[in-house]
């Protein structure tokens, strides 16, 4: 089995069924076998996301604001936005395995498990999107997560800090706020379904961020960072990527603590209290 060729094919594919099949094959294989890197293997640098074949990509500021959730189209814009994040996260998790072949087998299993979860999240959101009369690609999207993976391609420590420990962790803050906004419309069947999905996603994303936290700290040790300086390293990386000044109106203290963040980090990210 050419493990990395299958990963590459899965990342490049714009068909969720292909991604699901190949991801399952890769996970089953490395759950039972050591993964051998083919001699001369050099990971591709992906210059465009897999969804570029059917999505209109715009700048984040050009995206339509999602305020009207009473109509099918209004709710669909929200579902589409969340589904797109989950789709993007599939490719990021697969790329985390593909791009850094020197990492331990446990690392590969962790991120293939994350990819499998993200596939399931996307599929359930996409089912709801179809029920509302729309498809992935019917609304414009931005490629911020793809850009984050591209910008950290050459540095795995940066990747673990920026993708799971920054962007995915930010989802832990945002998800409950979306649920709160939807609560007064919970009697609408589609809204009720979405709320249930968001609870599932939130709980599983805590595990994903915790895996990112584990491997970030592992890499700090591997790269000879002084013990106890992981927090300093993390914020130095955020500073280099101009992410320190992003406004966070809500910081989910409990979820971030469960995902491996210290209270010191959480306060630096904007929380007023953490105990």
Q: Is there a domain that residue 163 lies in? A: yes
Q: Categorize the per-residue pLDDT at 68 as very low, low, confident or very high, splitting at 50, 70 and 90.
A: confident
Per-residue pLDDT at 64: 76
Return the H-helix or E-strand segment holding 213. Answer: helix 189-222
User: For residue 134, what are the contacts with CB-CB under 8 A and spacing of at least 6?
Assistant: 73, 76, 79, 80
Q: Categorize the per-residue pLDDT at 260 as very low, low, confident or very high, splitting at 50, 70 and 90.
A: very high
Q: Is there a domain that residue 171 lies in? A: yes
Model confidence at 229: pLDDT above 80: yes
Alpha carbon distances (Å) from 213 to 2, 93, 217, 262: 29, 14, 6, 11
**1 token code pair:** 């089995």
**68 token code pair:** 């009207």
Alpha carbon distances (Å) from 3 to 40, 61, 74: 14, 39, 41
Residues 42, 150, 159: CA angle, nearest 5 degrees? 90
Q: Is there a domain that residue 58 lies in? A: yes
Q: Categorize the per-residue pLDDT at 257 as very low, low, confident or very high, splitting at 50, 70 and 90.
A: very high
Model confidence at 163: pLDDT above 80: yes
The DSSP secondary-structure symbol of 269 reads T
Model confidence at 70: pLDDT above 90: no
233: containing domain: 3-268
**Nearest to residue 145, comparing CAs of 85, 96, 100?**
85
Mean pLDDT, residues 205-234 taken together: 97
Q: Is there a domain that residue 275 lies in? A: no
**Nearest to residue 207, comparing CAs of 89, 82, 53?**
89
* Domain count of the fold of the chain: 1
Find the distance separating the first CA and the last CA of the chain, reported in whole Å. Answer: 49
Q: Is there a domain that residue 110 lies in? A: yes
Cβ neighbours around 40 below 10 Å, total: 5
80-138 pLDDT, tens digit each:
999 999 999 999 999 999 999 999 999 999 999 999 999 999 999 999 999 999 999 99
Model confidence at 247: pLDDT above 80: no
Model confidence at 39: pLDDT above 90: no
Mean pLDDT, residues 224-228 taken together: 93
With beta carbons less than 8 A apart as the criterion, state whether 69 and 191 touch: yes
Per-residue pLDDT at 38: 81
Q: What is the Cα–Cα distance from 207 to 212, expressed in whole angstroms?
A: 9
Q: Is there a domain that residue 274 lies in? A: no
Per-residue pLDDT at 245: 83
**10 token code pair:** 């899965």
């Amino acid at each position: 089995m050419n493990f990395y060729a299958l990963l590459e094919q899965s990342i490049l594919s714009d068909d969720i069924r292909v991604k699901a099949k190949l991801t399952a094959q890769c996970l089953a294989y490395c759950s039972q076998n050591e993964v051998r890197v083919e001699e001369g293997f050099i990971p591709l640098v992906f210059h465009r996301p897999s969804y570029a074949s059917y999505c209109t990509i715009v700048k984040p500021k050009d995206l339509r604001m999602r305020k009207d959730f009473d109509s099918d189209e209004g709710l669909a814009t929200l579902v589409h936005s969340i589904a797109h994040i989950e789709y993007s996260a599939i490719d990021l998790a697969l790329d985390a395995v593909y791009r850094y072949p020197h990492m331990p087998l446990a690392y590969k299993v962790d991120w293939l498990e994350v990819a499998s979860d993200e596939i399931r999240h996307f599929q359930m959101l996409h089912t709801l999107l179809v029920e509302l009369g729309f498809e992935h690609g019917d609304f414009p999207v931005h490629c911020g997560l793809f850009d984050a993976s591209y910008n950290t391609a050459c540095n795995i420590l940066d990747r673990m800090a920026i993708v799971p420990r920054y962007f995915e962790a930010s989802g832990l803050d945002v998800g409950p706020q979306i649920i709160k906004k939807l609560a007064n419309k919970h009697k609408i069947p589609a809204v009720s379904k979405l709320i249930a999905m968001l609870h599932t996603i939130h709980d599983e994303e805590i595990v994903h961020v915790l895996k990112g936290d584990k491997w970030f700290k592992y890499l700090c040790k591997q790269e000879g960072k002084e013990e106890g300086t992981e927090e300093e390293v993390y914020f130095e990386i955020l500073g280099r990527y101009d992410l320190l000044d992003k406004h966070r109106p809500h910081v989910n203290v409990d979820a971030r603590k469960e995902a491996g963040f210290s209270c010191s980090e959480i306060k630096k990210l904007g929380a007023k209290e953490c105990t």
